[in-house]
Amino acid sequence: MHFLDQAKIFVRSGAGGPGAVSFRREKFIEYGGPDGGNGGKGGDIIFEAVAGLNTLIDFRYTQHFRAPRGHGGSGSNRTGAGGDDLVIKVPVGTQIMDEAREEVLLDFTHAGQREVFLRGGDGGRGNATYKTSTNRAPRQHGTGWPYQEAWLWLRLKLLADAGLVGLPNAGKSTFINAVTNAQAKVGAYAFTTTRPQLGVVRHHQREFVVADIPGLIEGAAEGAGIGDRFLGHIERCKVLLHLVDANDEDVGESYRIVRDELENYGGGLTDKPVVVALNKIDTLDDELIAALLAELEEASGEEVIAISGAAGTGTDWALDRLLEAIGPDAATVAADDEGEDSIEWSPV
């Protein structure tokens, strides 16, 4: 499935139906009069967040959404049928933004959230409603209230508890493959990850969601490499796991490059709790690992843990630190799980 996290669409609610001009004329009825019914209400534009969706790819092929208008009224004081509401289903984590992408109009943070975005026009009045003591045979009627329309941007921000950041080839994909069943692409070249990946980790009878995004390089905020467009997917994370490749020439500089790009992006990413890990230690001896840990701790000001995603060394320690930062809100595993150590995940 192709991943798409931004889409521009056009929405229009339904206009109200016109009221009717009608007069009652029946045999043996002494007094007739106006009996035109009101028009029906136009359909609303409704957005609904649903589980099971994690891409906006459907909006690449369908960009225009128009709700039906209300039906006109008719004689015998019959009100016209209202137009059906148009429900647009979006993934959880979707933001509805104005055309200029400057204001967030709606933010869908949980499955089942349902919001009316554009209300359909009310139906016009039939001529029966205009009857007065001095106007016994009115011929005026309402044409119905007009529709509302707008161009919108949809932006998807994946919902995850922890986010992985680091330079390309820092081992983020290997780590998420080791602790989940995400099956992220791994390769000995930069930018093997070209779209965000989600994985569900089960650890100590709890589970939480981890997001892996493409690596950042110096100048990503200005568009270098893949740029920083995917950083929006970790804005909602409670903690970041910053992986640094132990084989880099200067691990301190590798850390600072990524932190500078996070600061340039904004979004409060540098204010989030961070767990710093020196990755790929399986390729080094203990003396060199100790020296690199000291160097990285001096650069980051954080306690650094040594791990190897490929060998599984220290991954439990990293998950412990992530759970501690996430807090008690992470979902607990069902009691009837029988203690299995299998790992589940939600594919992207």
Annotated binding residues, written as ranges, equal 166-173, 193, 212-215, 279-282, 308-310
Angle, CA 52 vertex, CA 316 and CA 193 arms, to 5°? 55
Helix axis angle for 172-179 and 315-326, nearest 10°, is: 80
Q: To which H or E segment does residue 170 belong?
A: none
SS3 label, residue 67? coil
Q: Which residues are annotated as part of the binding site for Mg(2+)?
A: 173, 193
Whole-angstrom distance, CA of residue 54 vs CA of residue 56:
7
8-state DSSP, 335: G
Q: In 3D, which of 103, 14, 100, 90 has the Cα closest to residue 59?
A: 90
Listing DSSP states for 245-302 in one string gives: ETTSS-HHHHHHHHHHHHHHH-TTGGGS-EEEEEE-GGGS-HHHHHHHHHHHHHHHSS
CA 50 from chain center: how many Å? 11
- Residues forming the annotated binding site for GTP? 166-173, 212-215, 279-282, 308-310
